[in-house]
Structures are given as C-alpha cells and as structure tokens.
Structure 1
C-alpha cells in the first residue's frame, strides 16, 4: 500500500472534513427552520446639558433624513436629561408583516426605560423612509413622564430598520433599555454594534464558521499538493545523451533538453551542434567505436536527409523548418525573385544597383560552410545548384581576382547574422526564428512569398526542409535516446518545437507535409 503515507492520510482526512462540513451546512439550511427575528440595540446613550436637546435631535436625525412625526417639547428642566438612540431592525432570515406581531391590536413592540421617563421621542428611518408610513397619522408617542413606548406593528423586510431618538429624564446614562414583543415563529432579542451606523454582518456566525473550516481544508490540501513532487512524464529514462548536428534546429532542441532534464530525474542531455554534416560524421564515428556494435547515446539532427554512405544510420522525421534570406538594412529590397537570387549567387549581379537603380553598392555573399544543412537546403530548394567557390576570408576583400563576386563562408548561424548586419551590401541565409529581433538586417521574401509557419504547404514558399533525427541502428526501447526522441517529436517537447517556429511532423498538418517530403 504505497499510497498509505502520512501526507496522503492528512489529505484524505482534510477532504472528508470539508465534505462533512459542507453536508452539515446543507442539512442545517434544510432542517433547521428559518426564524423571524427583531433585533434592537442602543447606539447612543448620553447626557445632555440644559438647552442642548434640540441640537442633539437635529444632529441625530441628519440633514435630509426621513423624520415622520413625534414631539420634542422644550422644557426648562433638563438638568438630568439623557438622550438615547435606539435601533430596531429585522436581522432574521424572513420578512415580518403586521400579522406576525401577536401582542394585541394596538401595538407590536414595547420599549421600556427602567428608571427613566420619556420626555420626547422622534422616529427616523434614513435608509427606509417608506417604513414611517406605518406609524399612524395620530401617533404622538407616549405620554410625557411614561417609562415605556408602544410601537405600532411596522412591517420589516430583511435588513430593514428604523430608529427612535428619545429624550429621557430622571435617571443616569446607561440605564437598562429593553424591547419586548411576541413574534409568530420568532422572537425579539438584543444585538450589539460598536458604532451607530454599523450594518448587520453579511455572513451569519454559522456561515463564517463553515467558511473558515473550508478555507483551512483548502489551504491544507494546497500545501500538500505543493510539497508533492510532480510525477515525471511516462517514459523517462536515466543516463547521458549527446545531441549534435543542425545549428538551425539547435535552439529548439536545447530548450526541449532543459525541460526534459527538469521533468526526468537522472537524465543529462547535451546539445553540441556543429552543422548537419558534421553531426552525421560524429554519429558514425561514435557508432563505429561502440562496443559490440550497439547504438551509442548520440543523436544527429540534419536539415534534410543525410548524405549517402552511412547505411547503419536510421532516420526519423521530427519537424518542418523554415529558413529565410536576410539582407543588410542599407539595401532597400524586401523581395527577390528566385531568378534574381540565382543570378546573385552565380556572380551575374555583382552590384545592387542592377536591382535598385541609382544604388552603388557591391554585393557581398555571406554563406555557411560546406557541412551546413542550412546551406544544403538553400542550394537544393532555392538555387537548384551548388554555390560558387569561396572568394573571401573576411567577407569584404576579394581574395580571388577572377571571382565575379565577394563570397565568404562562416561556421554558424550567429556568425552569418552578425556579418550581414555589420556589412553594407551583405546578403545571407539563416533559420527563420534566429533572425527575429535582429538590428541592422531584414528578411527577404522569395517570389513574393514569405516564411510563415501557418502557411507551410500552402503558400509555395520554397526555402523549407524536414528536420531528421538519426541514430546508429535502432536504440533500445527503454533507452534515453528513444525516450528523448519521443518527447521531442510527440511529447511535451512538441510545444517547444512549435514555439521556435518549426512545424512538428507528428501534428495532423505536419504528417501530410512530412509524408510528401
């Protein structure tokens, strides 16, 4: 019973507790009858000096407040007067009508001031002014000197309230104040508030308790989930794998390798790219040295199919890659025909003035070395032939006086991008995504068509190729080589490949295009 751990037991108990609390809350809501309640609270009880009563009434009622009727007769005998603000509210779950008051025909509630006599009273309902229409037109409050106030049967919706501002004499502040009355299927009770204008809480005490318990359950479960290590992807393998070959595809493979290593403990994937042809050769050498003729932990990625002469190598298609021509920003050209490109690389166009009239700028061809898959794709898909011989070591000075145009060869995509951006009149070719955000150069369309991943196979853009992964023979099914290639082509690495501007062959569209070759 591998699941029987302390963390799992805590998770199960916490989850069950949350379910039981929720079920109890539902049961309570359905089984426990909702009661009608009238709550009351004293919001103000203070002494007032002689002549200050009228000012206190005006301040408590508020400008614009709905003052219905009552009386506040001036009196010279206010030496022991106190002022009480009493709030009457429906704080239950159901509304109250006149029929729910059962104390008699003439009144609904009785307010009693123990030890103090009523001098004057004002009824106010700032938030529910229409409530005051339920006080009879001839209602004038109690007789002066009474210790009680009989309130009419005022209907109250949930949350509705009104207030009594009462001037009292004959007793100290803080004397007992009570409200009594009989409510059908309910009761009258005292509640509390720290400030005069506090509203009834949004959540009841039971609701707050349930919320706190459920929150604690969620926090406990979240803590367990965070602590629990995410299980590795199916098919993870341990060991060390070297991926070599294409520099154009290397950025995507490098990121996929980092993700695979994070997900699969004990795995190391080294990306060491030096060009497609160089990668094929390195794989062949590793296979030849492998003891017993087994498959070494090496994968060679190639822009297009491998050259002939390596019968032991086995291939799998990974993705379709797009490439682009890049041109120095000093040349105002963003579209070239395939014929113009071929003439440029045959040396028939040696100055950009032949394409842009009035521009005097020599053409500089910045190319990749002979082992580059990017170059091989360019020759195969765009030029239809090999590039001319190298004529410059620095991409500026023509070393061969018989060469028609300056042409240099560089070892990597990054070197090509740097040279084209730096040298006026320079043109080169690179993998599509590598050219993004580079200053000093821009992409060039071919025959009006631009490299767009979503348009692969429909736009007719020619500079594209399938990325192949090669192994020495068939690696074992449980090897790191097989696991990583599966991850790259069909697993989580597929999203990385797509994010880098390549179309995975395992997608529905990729299957059709890769199948067509």
Structure 2
C-alpha cells in the first residue's frame, strides 16, 4: 500500500461518527477473525454511509481500522486502480477504458438523486430545465428574473473529477455550459456549507445531503425527494459505486458484504439513499 500517497490526500476521516438513531449492527461474526487497515477514497456522497458502517465494524472488531477520504469519483477510481486504496468510491459508473485499464470490479449499492439547491431564505422553489441551463450558462444572472430578489445569482459547481458534477452536467444541463464565473467547491458537504451561507447562491448536491440548511428546488414541477428518485419521476439521479481492483478480498470483501447485508442496507436508507443490490 502506498501510504505516502494516501497521506497526501486532502482529508482523511477516521470513522468514529455515530450511526443514525435506531440503526445498530453486530458484525463480530464477520470481522472477529480479521485485523489490519482498510483504506477507502473517492466520491464524497458516499462518506456518510462509509463512516457509519465503519463505526459499527470497528466497534465489533477493535483490531480493524478503516480510513475514509473524499477527493471525488475520478480520484477514487484512479487510486483504487493504482493500488493506493482498497476501495475507490464513485458517483458514476467507471468508464469502459477505466475498467479495462485497472481491471475494476464494480459494486453498485445505492441510487442517489442530485438536487438543485439554494439558501432556505430564497423564495425561488422551482425551475424549468431551460431556466437552469440559462442560469449556469450565465445568460440568466439575476434572481429577479426568476421571481426572487433583485440580486446577482452566485453559481456553485464541482470540479471535473466529481461524479455529482458529471450527472448534473449530463442530466440537468444536457451537457450545456457551466459559466467560468462559477465558484468551485470540493465536496457535497462543502457545497451544502456554501449554499447555507449564501442567500443568493445556487448549486447542486446529493439528495442524501439535503437538510434544513438548504432548500432543494423542484425541476419541471418534480421535487428532489427519495420517493421521486425511487419512482424515476425525478430524473437527475445516478448509482453509487464502490470499486475494487479485481475481485475484493480480505477486509475489502468483508466490508462490501456488510454493506449489502440487511444492517448495511438500513444504514444506506437512514443516510438518505435508496439501497440496491448489485
């Protein structure tokens, strides 16, 4: 394991946060005979589930340590492919050339919607796709044109390695322009913080990250709810993947098995995603 490279990652989370209330699991039978460190990086939408599951695993087996880092889908795919981490998360299916180059095996475990969001004080609660494309192209630049205050719209986006951005760009913008004036943020969490602090901002983030600090917008009359994502009515959605280089073994295999277990599926649902198997 290239630990020097791993330590250069922007942020490492030691999974010590509590699981959602009412979701508890006992993984002693699965992990009791295992030890060592499991390294995970990539998509930031995945982090709440990864941390919650890792907490339960390490509670069951104190000899196991699990480190979880973000960095975006592209980084997760690259780092697992290069053997830097054991699991590389992505909010998009890896491309065929990535699968072929690295020998990746894909593990799809949830469906997630990508919500367009604003500050809760913003009175605008709905947009059409054409309005959204105009906003991000910069041709519609004042909230007044959308029924909001007479203030400039502050755009927020993610970098090119983000799976969230990829889905937003393809399914919400129809591969349209993202204006050069847009502010870049590094993660779903950073996007939520930016919008929660900017009454005139607009951005996008995982539906699983929506809370009272930001307001999700209806698009073409369809709100970004779990029910609408699950039914397919809300079309700005994607799969969440945990990728391995070849078939998963050891701690990585045990962790993925726990993710697909009934307890793991409950954690996925509790964090605002739609659990799937395979």
TM-score (normalizing by structure 1): 0.45
| CA distance in structure 2 between the partners assigned to 1:448 and 1:233 by the alignment | 48
| CA distance in structure 1 between the partners assigned to 2:27 and 2:252 by the alignment | 21
Structure 2 vs 1, CA of residues 345 and 265 (structure 1 numbering), >3 Å: closer, same or farther? same
* Aligned partner (choices 199, 209, 232) of residue 28 of structure 2: 232
Structure 2 spans left out of the alignment, 5+ residues? 1-25
2:3: which partner in 1?
Answer: none
1:264 corresponds to 2:61 = yes
| CA distance in structure 2 between the partners assigned to 1:389 and 1:324 by the alignment | 19
User: How is 1:360-509 mapped onto 2 (pairs within 5 angstroms)?
Assistant: 360-391=150-181, 407-438=182-213, 441-458=214-231, 460-476=233-249, 479-506=250-277
- Is the 8 Å Cα contact of residues 112 and 229 (structure 2) preserved in structure 1? no
SS of 1:269 mapped into structure 2: strand
**1:188-231 deviations in Å (ceiling 9; x for gaps):** xxxxxxxxxxxxxxxxxxxxxxxxxxxxxxxxxxxxxxxxxx78
| CA distance in structure 2 between the partners assigned to 1:383 and 1:374 by the alignment | 13
| CA distance in structure 1 between the partners assigned to 2:180 and 2:79 by the alignment | 25
* Aligned partner (choices 34, 44, 57) of residue 247 of structure 1: 44
Q: CA deviation at 1:442?
A: 1.6
Structure 2 vs 1, CA of residues 330 and 361 (structure 1 numbering), >3 Å: closer, same or farther? farther
1:314 corresponds to 2:110 = no
Q: CA deviation at 1:389?
A: 4.6
Q: CA deviation at 1:346?
A: 1.6
**1:318-364 deviations in Å (ceiling 9; x for gaps):** 1111221111244311111122111211222111122217x411111
1:299: which partner in 2?
Answer: 87
SS of 2:89 mapped into structure 1: strand
1:46: which partner in 2?
Answer: none
Q: CA deviation at 1:370?
A: 1.5
SS of 1:374 mapped into structure 2: helix
**1:73-113 deviations in Å (ceiling 9; x for gaps):** xxxxxxxxxxxxxxxxxxxxxxxxxxxxxxxxxxxxxxxxx
| The structure with more helix, counted as a fraction of residues | 2
Q: CA deviation at 1:451?
A: 2.3
- Is the 8 Å Cα contact of residues 334 and 444 (structure 1) preserved in structure 2? yes
**1:269-305 deviations in Å (ceiling 9; x for gaps):** 1111111111111112226xxxxxxxxx610111111
Q: CA deviation at 1:461?
A: 0.4
SS of 1:492 mapped into structure 2: helix
- Is the 8 Å Cα contact of residues 229 and 235 (structure 2) preserved in structure 1? no
SS of 2:29 mapped into structure 1: coil
**1:85-142 deviations in Å (ceiling 9; x for gaps):** xxxxxxxxxxxxxxxxxxxxxxxxxxxxxxxxxxxxxxxxxxxxxxxxxxxxxxxxxx
Find runs of 4+ consecutive structure 1 residues off by over 4 angstroms.
none
Q: CA deviation at 1:452?
A: 2.4
| CA distance in structure 2 between the partners assigned to 1:459 and 1:284 by the alignment | 32
- Is the 8 Å Cα contact of residues 157 and 203 (structure 2) preserved in structure 1? yes
Q: CA deviation at 1:253?
A: 0.9
- Is the 8 Å Cα contact of residues 265 and 275 (structure 2) preserved in structure 1? yes
| CA distance in structure 2 between the partners assigned to 1:467 and 1:334 by the alignment | 27
- Is the 8 Å Cα contact of residues 113 and 234 (structure 2) preserved in structure 1? no
Structure 1 spans left out of the alignment, 5+ residues? 1-229, 288-296, 392-406, 512-517
Please give the root-mean-square deviation of Cα atoms over the aligned residues, in Å. 2.1
| CA distance in structure 2 between the partners assigned to 1:318 and 1:423 by the alignment | 33
| CA distance in structure 1 between the partners assigned to 2:105 and 2:38 by the alignment | 17
- Is the 8 Å Cα contact of residues 322 and 501 (structure 1) preserved in structure 2? no
| CA distance in structure 1 between the partners assigned to 2:27 and 2:210 by the alignment | 37
- Is the 8 Å Cα contact of residues 364 and 427 (structure 1) preserved in structure 2? yes
| CA distance in structure 2 between the partners assigned to 1:499 and 1:286 by the alignment | 31
1:160: which partner in 2?
Answer: none
- When the two structures are aligned, how many residues end up with a matched partner? 249
